[in-house]
Structure 1
């Protein structure tokens, strides 16, 4: 018969650290989330849906813009995040991001059956480097080409350092 011993506090701490190590590695690989703009609705001329976040950035600090998307559609469904960046209250830069054009992808699932596509993913779309220290405001909205079958379950712009 095998004898079992209860884990000591030290063993418990080591177990937690070993299990947590992969999580901290994710931050170094993918960046640490500093803001999330849950847009989740397509803006139309009669209904603008704009979300914003404000961050303090240091000169030379790099910020990654990621999209977290879950959508369904028939045919094609070109969607875009339109992002206005303000530096210390003044317009600084405008970006238009196609969330499907990503250079890093996490958790992508895409199925197409009889022309009906279900697609969810998290992907890195762009980076922005702060030219100087200051307060940066990001205002974003989601736009799409007309497609009555498009259903946006989730469309979030994620900012990571």
Structure 2
């Protein structure tokens, strides 16, 4: 997939998953940052005014905000406001609305996150939503090799 070429560059700064001292939570936090970055790159929607980050399954209402430390890290990296999904809403035609009323953002979701420190591998489904009929989803597998996260699989699963 076209994004597989960009992601290794984005992942180059990831902390290595090398010591037993790192917890599952720390590994998942680093992976979430990478997965959200991949979701932001999907379909070229790079110039959005803001992003709202969510964890959870697409087909259920069991969703929650991304961790505060992930939101803060990505806001600094992306140079646009980043909000927890619960602070955002949808307006006319399903357009994402920021807490301050600004439109033109993107909802990013990571679901089905699974990381294995033993295998040095993380998998997740990622999706973006801009407005009605402007969304997509991809399944991504990352492995940690030679000090960097590498995309091993990036497969578009749906688009509208």
TM norm structure 2: 0.29
Structure of greater relative contact order (alpha carbons < 8 Å, 6+ residues apart):
1
TM norm structure 1: 0.29
Larger radius of gyration: 1
